[in-house]
Amino acid sequence: MTQRSSIRLFSIPLLGLPLLLSACSGSPPSKEEVAKLEANLINQSVSMFFGGNRQNQQIDTDDIKIVKYTCQVVKDFDSAFDCTVSFTLNDEPQKNTLRAIHHEDGKWRLAKEQPN
């Protein structure tokens, strides 16, 4: 094996290293992901309050405009974050706290128990 081919074999795996590290870094959800989570949380609350399946009154992600959000990793859990979210819904200012968990399939989901 020549020196050039051995360098090429070594450099190819290194190109994928940043992608692999970013996938495992435990970074918080993006603004778009927070909007989806917030819509899910609101829709869950509406369903529990009114009961049944109210598809025609579901909040869409596009209805939520994130103004500001901050997320802190939950102690000892690099894939769980508590996020404080300021947003507007139908031009009404809202503020909420939610707990999001990043699963191995790459999707963000709400924790079963939400912070108060």
Which pLDDT tens digit goes with each residue over 61-80? Answer: 999 999 999 999 999 999 99
Cβ(116)–Cβ(99) below 8 Å: no
pLDDT at 56 > cutoff 80:
no
User: Could you tell me the CA-to-CA distances from 48 to 2, 7, 39, 51 in Å, in that order?
Assistant: 67, 60, 14, 5
pLDDT score, position 116 = 72
pTM recorded for the entire structure: 0.71
For the cut 70, the answer to whether the pLDDT of residue 87 exceeds it is: yes
- For 105, the token pair is 């399939």
